[in-house]
Chain A
């Protein structure tokens, strides 16, 4: 489904990713772990097409489409979703309006009619309820004044409403207390389906107790240095990155 081959990415003239190979098939959940500065966020941005993340070599294809030829919004409309490590605030724009615009933009891209307002409202309310979000939050401006946990929950609600085929979640678990972590894990698990793929980026093993990955990869200095199953995450937790010969502070 998502196929990344020999991906090299430069940011501001610096080589950050140095040849990533990663294939995520339908129905699979992969986890990427690695020290700070190893290039995890860069990988998620490169997949989703953020400006300034220049692919100098390699390819990214999703469902047979060459992602490198698509704009960020087109990749989103094709079904790629990025749960942000630091979701941004958009003052004056309600969550509801933001989601409605997003849903209808994607529909427009696909040549579909706008969603009927009643249907949309039902959908959003249902997803918010599933993720235990207070409906009042839907009226508030996107992420403005939200706590860390509320922002991450908001990302999960957006993901649930947009229902993407491929989701990459960038440290969605960082800085959360155990209740918020459970919400995030629940959100991710709800997305698990035979036709969907998920990439979870995390610094800690903790989240993987709740979202059990099919594969775990270790990213260091812009390369995947080791891949395995869930036990690799446990191993890292016990023995640290140093055990793999990775300098934890080499950002």
Chain B
């Protein structure tokens, strides 16, 4: 029917009109192409890392060599050639590490302005500090002095390796072990940059912290590594955004994010993932293989993952919660939009170890074009986890007849007191809904936006204000002002 075609085109416009696809022309320093111990030594030397970290990388590399790329996801793609990738690429200007924002290369500043991110502290949205990672290096971190007054450490992970070795040695790899999976092992060997956050005891972080990841260089992988430690009674809200240029070849992004929460600590981690999704025919786009995991170690600690995934050609991502502390709480709120030939296999794992732990999973998958959207989730209750609860809601929305949505829930309850609930629905934007909106004056684009936004509401309202706006725009919602 005509309306369905129109809807599909609109969604293509909404999701497919990629505004961040430009390339910054800047002089780069790169490691030789391919992966071997020398390349790892090159990366480690560039970052002036301590010896223990180089050893850690080399051990990870040895483990990775013995591992196989996973096949279990419902993803269909040409496997990356790991010898045809640059593992390190950094702007030359960042080589002698700018001491302050004034020293950051103007070309980089302009790039971020264009992406809607100002690095001039006075111009930044008040209350958001940002770390920006350009290919393999962090090029600027704002508000670090303001944060330091509260004892909050907010810096690049490369700096943390030099300046906070005790915290790094204690926690790096403690949530996602080196050999956890193929991509995590690869990341552990070659990770280049990312963000390090430490919130001291009793501190409520005075501003939102954020990292903005940008892939720029061709044939380059981005291997970001983020570590967040929330000490007793602390709180932080952390945001993450990502974009990349439009290119015909696929690019690899394999990240690891680890979060540790101690007694009564709370972390809110929000992602708006908008890597280049490839073109209408499925050419190009980012391969997004990500391991994100949070360990609620302290009693009554809480972690909340919120993700809005609109980009990437391939998404393989399961932000998970290890609910170890008694009474700890894990939440996962997800919107995943796939269009054209995009494929997303995403979900979460909730591992209930402590008593009285609870978890909530709200997943909204939207598929259009020829895309495939898979929710894959595991709820596991360990034998000693008394009185645990999980509630899972998985909703899929289909636009057009050529896309697919699949729900793959795994439940392993090994304690009889566990209460595990799972609900799933699949629906379509109906011609009746569309006509109803059009008859009230909305154009097709506005109508689709409104309906999709309504569908995602429970997730979108979890996002911090600054991000909600960007995310809503990404979903095609008619808010004023547009980026790019």
Name A residues whose Cβ lies closer than 8 Å to a Cβ of B: 48-52, 71-73, 76-77, 81-82, 84, 86-93, 97-98, 101-103, 105-106, 109, 141, 158, 162
Contact = CB atoms under 8 A, between A and B. Distances in A.
A105 B430 CA distance: 21
A51 B446 contact: no
Interface in B405-464: 430-433, 435-444, 446-447, 450-451, 453-458
B457 A50 contact: no
Contacts of B2: 51-52
Contact of A93 (B431, B438, B439, B454): B454
B432 A76 contact: no
B441 A162 contact: yes
A51 B435 contact: yes
A139 B209 CA distance: 33
A77 B1 CA distance: 23
Contact of B438 (A73, A81, A91, A92): A73
Nearest to B4: A51
B174 interface: no
B24 interface: no
Interface string B1-32: 11100000000000000000000000000000
Given A48-B439, A105-B443, A90 B431 contact: no
Q: Which 4 pairs show the lowest CB-CB distances between chains A and B? A: A92-B454, A93-B454, A92-B457, A72-B438
Contacts of B450: 90, 93, 97-98, 101
A81 to B, nearest CB: 8
Question: Most chain-B CB neighbours within 10 Å: which of A51, A102, A106, A109?
Answer: A51
A82 B439 contact: yes
Given A76-B438, A101-B446, A101-B478, A88 B430 contact: yes
A92 B453 contact: yes
Question: Most chain-A CB neighbours within 10 Å: which of B431, B439, B456, B457?
Answer: B439
Nearest to B461: A92
A157 B457 CA distance: 24
Contact of A158 (B433, B440, B454, B458): B440
B149 to A, nearest CB: 38
Given A72-B438, A92-B457, A98-B450, 8 more contacts: A50-B439, A51-B2, A73-B438, A73-B444, A81-B439, A91-B454, A101-B478, A105-B446
B457 A73 contact: no
